[in-house]
Structure 1
Amino acid sequence: MAGRVRAPGRHVWQSCAAGNFSPAKSTLGNEAPWMPTVGASTLDREIRSATKLGNGKIYRGQLLFQPGNFQPALVPLVYPGSNGDYLSTICSDGQLTVDAVSGKVVLCEATGRDEVEKGEIVLRAGGMAMILMSTGAQDYDTIADAHVLLTSQVSFLDGTKIKGLYKLHRAPHGYNSLQGHSVPRRRGPHGG
């Protein structure tokens, strides 16, 4: 801190990286009002996935990890949260049993944090893959995290549709697959 206070007197230009807590107003900023704050943009890129259900419906999402030996095949889907228990909907530790999820695609609701840990919990319980459903606050935002098992994050709307189909059919099947890397031709907005 002392260096930051003395630097301007020695004609040393300083800047701080802007913290970005969300896409909402007033979330990009810095604690020191005299310090120039520099923001950066990200590349408008997707690592696409497709979650295909047994009824032929395909839901787009993002996934980062796909094992090299993965062979797309329809396997049973399970939604631990169908019992209405919140900890089960988010696939919390201790909520999944081997009998319930082994060899299946597991539907888990996102919370905005610890999503990779959810995949570890699903994997320990024997789950083959995970569909991570975004929250209402995330809306259409999906994130390609480095999960430990095949995981596709779908939008809130698509997650709601998948849960509805699960409740309707009770024994649906599905799988996740990598659809490739996408960079749009037109650049998105960026800092100058």
Structure 2
Amino acid sequence: MALVHAARKAVHRGGPEISMDEIATQAKTSKSIIYRYFTDKPGLQLAVGEAVVGQMRDALREAAHTATTPRDSLRSMVAVYLEMIEHSPNVYYFVTRTAPGLPFLDSMNEIVAVPFAQEMNASPADAAAWGAGAVGFVRGSGEWWLESRNTPGGPTREELTARVTAWLWAGPVGVLAKEGRSPK
């Protein structure tokens, strides 16, 4: 819907706390028109969130299906996720922090669990648990990175992609041990 697209662009420019007045102005419509389609701001946030989730789900599926190995599938999905949140942190925060009732990343769990299930011949329950944990880990790492990416010495998106993939695949303790750094 054009109004959802216009609202998304307004949030991208104006930030996650943008007002309905500002959204209407940037969408070149009236606030009453927005309220006709979306009864309140949470309704608009939910609609924008559903559009974002759909786009992200499609991008993650594409990344998973074009990879040649399960590990590369995981790396590609981490890369896509980080690239998408970097592209528009305002929209990301608008739909993850302020949109009530939208299980933003819950729908991603199954997609992310696929590489693990393929590689480990995991039970559906183990794959689902790992997928939920992986999604939470990537989300937490991604949000940390968004806030600190301009800090001197911080990882680039590509470096974080490689690290998160390695940590998820081998586990952080296993990776540190292989690198000769023993956990405390």
Q: So what's the TM-score if we normalise by structure 1?
A: 0.24
Larger relative helix fraction: 2
Relative contact order, higher structure (CA 8 A, sep 6+): 1
Structure number, greater radius of gyration: 1
Q: TM-score, normalised by structure 2?
A: 0.24
Structure in which a larger fraction of residues adopt strand: 1
